């Protein structure tokens, strides 16, 4: 593997000699030096750097335009001003040796101090997440790809001078196997710590791959929303397990299930919906009447006369429905976004996406869940945090892959629900959604969480939130390895926390996790 030719590509467009020199010094000091360094868009001034004695005697061949790539070559796109860690190329080659089918790679990065007393930042990136890449260039500036992938994506001459988001999207379109290396392979500047985004790049990408979507940048942070248009409106079966509980919502006593159903049907314009209310035998008559009235002609009541088992009730409701898509909906929910169903249905247009879930908020507006994080116990990302937080790397604004979403509100393809065997009845109260998400992943499907659809979830008003020891033991025994290595997490994150926080003590890591409104860390 060490004999593989390595080609480093750097664009000098708009970059200074000082930045280019920093990159050159890093390459010269690399434990394995590249065979070629291509510096595109260079000027006579830039050539002073490539004529430095250390560069001339390094053994690297310097070029100012594309070369005929050896089919076995590995191409590294490196931004001018950034430097590779001394052993970065060694680590890359070792990864390719042990994972020979890999066609594209990205890695974590370190970002130097912008001020004398500031801490160095580290960007810890999740595993491969194609939907998130459409939202933002979360993979960073440094990308590694095989020569075949580079040529298929347009070649070095085209790719070298593109916006980093555009380059990443084009390469990803032609790479079947994409990996993340959870090590710091690049040192960059503080201003490159946060991901960028290019609206035009995403629009062009969607056109190339056949995604019919409206692309916008709705936030003050660089994140693209890809809202897929749906040519059809497949029937959705809404499954509402309930026992007719009456609780107080915003100061008013309501039958929770009736409230959830009426607010859903009243807010959405989605035309093809049926509601399956799975009622316990002890459901009070008055609650039953209100639930039936809320659903009207679109409601079917299914009676359940066994000891409480949420998973079993959901499965029973699905069996009694016939929609192409299934919306699991707790009775203690309320739709916020009028187009939430259209947003979720759009995500399921991708044949490899089996489930999609919205951002869930508590009644007071704080975040209840932004998708699951297995760390290693299952957490709901950013639980109890303010929606003012954008999250680490803007992840609270980015539509993205997750290991699972809460079954309180999740849209699922019926065909895949059956393929996965439904919800496991060994988890009557908790972790049935975690288990289901991991089953989907094992089957090769993806789950998407989106901030562009939102629901209230008045959590635990209908059941005790207390975790059962046997459920914890069962989820651990069944999924221990997956819980310990969430594919959309990073092994360098701090363990047993519900925010995306690197395992580094200090105010810097807290700011990266929560943003500028994070509290001052104690001294």
* 230 found inside a domain: no
* pLDDT tens for each residue of 18-37: 999 999 999 999 999 999 99
3-state secondary structure of 497: coil
Neighbour-count burial for 163-190, b at 16+ CB within 10 Å, e otherwise: ebbbbbbbbbebbeebbbbbbbbbbbee
- Report the alpha-carbon distance of residue 218 to residue 117 in Å, rounded: 35
Same structural domain, 172 and 281: no
Same domain, 48 and 152: yes
Give the three-state DSSP class for 352.
coil
> Is residue 313 a part of any domain in this protein?
yes
Give 493's DSSP letter: B
Same domain? 245 vs 203: no
- Report the Cα–Cα distance between both ends of the chain, in Å, rounded: 48
Helix%, strand%, coil% for the chain, nearest 5? 30, 25, 45
119-137 confidence digits (pLDDT tens): 788 999 999 999 999 999 9
Query: Rounded to whole angstroms, how far apart are CA atoms 457 and 340?
Result: 14
- Model confidence at 522, pLDDT cuts 50, 70, 90, reads very low
Domain count, the chain: 2
Q: What is the mean pLDDT of the segment spanning 421-437? A: 96
Give the ranges where 136-255 is alpha helix by DSSP (H): 147-152, 156-159, 164-174, 199-209
Q: Of 392, 369, 386, nearest to 454 (Cα)?
A: 369
User: For residue 520, is pLDDT > 70?
Assistant: no
| pLDDT (tens digit per residue) in 57-111 | 999 999 988 888 999 999 999 999 999 999 999 999 999 999 999 999 999 999 9
Output the six-digit token pair for 147: 């020569």
Specify if 284 maps to a domain: yes
Q: pLDDT confidence of 227, banded at 50, 70, 90?
A: very high
Indicate whether 494 belongs to any domain.
no
Q: Closest Cα to residue 64, out of 84, 81, 49, 86?
A: 49
pLDDT at position 407 over 70: yes
For residue 327, the domain's CATH number is: 3.90.550.60
Instruction: Return the H-helix or E-strand segment holding 310.
Output: helix 310-319
Domain boundary among 177, 199, 224: 224
Domain of 78 in residue numbering reads as 6-224
Report yes or no on 423 lying in a domain. Answer: yes
Closest by alpha carbon to 139, among 80, 98, 182?
A: 182
Local confidence band at 117 (pLDDT 50, 70, 90 cut-offs): low
> Which residue carries 């604004």 as its tokens?
397
Bridge partners (DSSP) listed for residue 360? 369, 455
Is residue 116's pLDDT more than 80? no
Residue where one domain finishes, among candidates 163, 193, 224: 224
**Domain CATH code at residue 63:** 3.90.550.10
Instruction: Look at residue 466 and tell me whether its pLDDT is greater than 70.
Output: no
| One domain, residues 423 and 319 | yes
pLDDT at residue 336, rounded to an integer? 96
Please give the model's pTM, rounded to 2 decimal places.
0.94
What distance in Å separates the CA atoms of residue 338 and residue 266, rounded to the nearest whole number? 9
Please tell me the predicted confidence (pLDDT) of residue 112: 85
399 and 309: one domain?
yes
User: Do 54 and 180 reside in the same domain of the chain?
Assistant: yes
Six token digits for residue 141: 């500036």
* Residues 89 and 156 placed together within one structural domain of the fold: yes
Q: Residue 309 is inside which H or E element, if any? A: none
How far apart CA 445 and CA 354 sit, in angstroms, is 6
Per-residue pLDDT reduced to its tens digit, 151-184: 999 999 999 999 999 999 999 999 999 999 999 9
Q: What is the pLDDT of residue 518?
A: 61
pLDDT digits (tens, 9 = 90+) for 293-337: 999 999 999 999 999 999 999 999 999 999 999 999 999 999 999
In a shared domain, residues 219 and 246: no
Residues 161 and 268 grouped into a single domain? no
Distance from C-alpha of 263 to C-alpha of 457, rounded to nearest angstrom:
13
218/250 same-domain check: no
Residue 512 inside a domain? The answer is no
Domain membership of residue 503 (yes or no) is no
Q: Is the pLDDT of residue 463 over 50?
A: no
Residue 363 has pLDDT above 90, yes or no: yes
**Residue owning tokens 């939102």:** 454
* 116 and 67 part of one domain: yes
Tokens 């409230």 belong to residue = 259
Compute φ and ψ for 363, nearest 5 degrees: -60, -30
Q: For residue 511, is it within any domain? A: no
C-alpha–C-alpha distance, residues 85 and 327, integer Å: 47
Q: Are residues 260 and 196 in the same domain?
A: no
Kindly report the number of other CB atoms within 10 A of residue 39's CB atom: 24
Lowest mean pLDDT among 113-127, 193-207, 390-404: 113-127
Q: Which of 194, 224, 254 is the last residue of a domain?
A: 224
As a whole-number percent, the residues of the chain with pLDDT over 70 amount to 95
Averaged pLDDT, 414-437: 96
């Amino acid at each position: 593997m060490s004999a593989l030719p390595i080609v480093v590509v750097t664009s000098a467009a708009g970059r200074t000699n000082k930045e280019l020199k920093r990159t050159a010094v890093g390459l010269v000091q690399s434990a394995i030096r590249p065979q070629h360094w291509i510096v595109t868009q260079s000027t006579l001034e830039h050539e002073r750097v490539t004529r430095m004695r250390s560069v001339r005697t390094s053994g690297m061949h310097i070029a100012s335009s594309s070369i005929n790539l050896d089919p076995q070559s590995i191409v590294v796109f490196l931004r001018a001003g950034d430097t590779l860690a001394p052993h970065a190329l060694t680590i890359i080659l070792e990864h390719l040796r042990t994972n020979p089918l890999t066609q594209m790679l990205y890695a974590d990065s370190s970002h130097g101090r912008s001020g004398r007393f500031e801490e160095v930042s580290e960007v810890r990136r999740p595993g491969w997440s194609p939907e998130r890449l459409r939202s933002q260039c979360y993979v960073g500036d440094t990308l590694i790809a095989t020569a075949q992938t580079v040529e298929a994506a347009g070649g070095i001459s085209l790719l070298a001078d593109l916006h980093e988001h555009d380059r990443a999207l084009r390469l990803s379109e032609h790479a079947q196997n994409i990996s993340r290396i959870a090590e710091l392979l690049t040192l960059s500047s503080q201003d490159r710590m946060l991901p960028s985004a290019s609206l035009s790049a995403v629009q062009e990408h969607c056109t190339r791959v056949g995604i019919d979507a409206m692309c916008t940048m709705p936030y003050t942070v660089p994140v693209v929303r890809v809202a897929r248009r749906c040519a059809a409106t497949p029937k959705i079966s809404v499954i509402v397990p309930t026992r007719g509980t009456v609780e107080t919502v915003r100061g008013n006593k309501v039958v929770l299930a009736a409230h959830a159903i009426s607010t859903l049907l009243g807010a959405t314009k989605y035309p093809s919906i049926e509601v399956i209310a799975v009622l316990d035998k002890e459901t009070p008559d008055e609650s039953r009447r209100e639930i039936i009235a809320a659903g009207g002609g679109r409601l079917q009541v299914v009676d359940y006369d066994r000891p409480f088992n949420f998973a079993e009730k959901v499965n029973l409701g699905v069996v009694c429905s016939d929609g192409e898509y299934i919306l699991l909906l707790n009775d203690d929910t309320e739709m916020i976004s009028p187009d939430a169903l259209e947003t979720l249905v759009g995500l399921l247009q991708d044949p490899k996406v089996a489930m999609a879930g919205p951002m869930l908020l508590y009644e007071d507006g704080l975040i209840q869940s932004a998708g699951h994080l297995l760390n290693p116990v299952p957490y709901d990302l950013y639980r109890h945090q303010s929606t003012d937080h954008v999250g680490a790397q803007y992840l609270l604004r980015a539509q993205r892959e997750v290991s699972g979403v809460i079954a309180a509100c999740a849209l699922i393809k019926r065909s895949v629900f059956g393929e996965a065997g439904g919800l496991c009845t060994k988890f009557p109260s908790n972790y049935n959604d975690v288990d289901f998400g991991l089953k989907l992943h094992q089957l090769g499907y993806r789950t998407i969480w989106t901030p562009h659809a939102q629901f209230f979830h008045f959590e635990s008003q209908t059941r005790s939130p207390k975790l059962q020891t046997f459920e914890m033991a069962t989820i651990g025994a069944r999924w221990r390895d997956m819980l310990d290595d969430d594919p959309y997490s990073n092994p360098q994150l701090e363990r047993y926390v519900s925010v995306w926080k690197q395992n580094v003590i200090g105010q810097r890591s807290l700011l990266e996790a929560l943003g500028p409104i994070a509290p001052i860390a104690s001294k």
